[in-house]
Amino acid sequence: MTKRIFFGLSGGLGPVLRCLPVAEHFRRSGHAAAFSIYGEGSAAFIENRGFKHLPDDDPTVPSAERMITGGPVFYNLDHYYAGAGLLDPEFVQAWIHHRIRMLEKFNADLVITDMSPHTAIAARYLGIPVASITQSCFHPDGQPMHYWGRPPRNLPRVTPVVNRVLNRLGLPDIRRMEQLNAGTLNFIPGIPEMDPVYTNGVRYVGPIEYPAAGPAGARLPDEPFVLVYPGRLQDTAGATGLQLLNHVTEAFGGKAEAVVIAASDGLPERLKAGLPGNVTVIPYFNSHMLKNCRLFIHHGGHGSCLSAIMRGIPSLILPTHTEREFNARKVQETGAGEYMLPGTFTADHLYKLALYIIEDGYKERAGELASLIRSRKYGGAREIYERCMSLMDRRALVLEEL
Instruction: Quick: pLDDT tens for 349-375.
Output: 999 999 999 988 999 999 999 999 999
**Residue 212 pLDDT:** 58
pLDDT per position as a tens digit, 109-120: 999 999 999 999
pLDDT per position as a tens digit, 237-286: 677 888 899 999 999 999 999 999 988 667 778 787 788 989 988 888 88
Count CB-CB contacts under 10 A for residue 200.
7
**Residue 70 pLDDT:** 79
**Residue 402 pLDDT:** 54
Interatomic CA distance for residues 191 and 178, integer angstroms: 20
The CA–CA distances, whole Å, from 167 to 1, 26, 116, 160, 170 equal 35, 34, 19, 10, 5
**Residue 44 pLDDT:** 92
pLDDT of 309 higher than 80? yes
Query: Is residue 11 within 8 Å of residue 35, measured between CB atoms?
Result: no
Count CB-CB contacts under 10 A for residue 184.
18
pLDDT of 216 higher than 60? no
Interatomic CA distance for residues 199 and 108, integer angstroms: 29
Query: Is residue 110 within 8 Å of residue 6, measured between CB atoms?
Result: yes
Closest CA to 245 of 229, 257, 256: 229
Query: Is residue 310 within 8 Å of residue 370, measured between CB atoms?
Result: yes
**Residue 400 pLDDT:** 60
Query: Is residue 242 within 8 Å of residue 272, measured between CB atoms?
Result: no
> What is the identity of the amino acid at 119?
T
The CA–CA distances, whole Å, from 344 to 206, 232, 315 equal 33, 21, 18
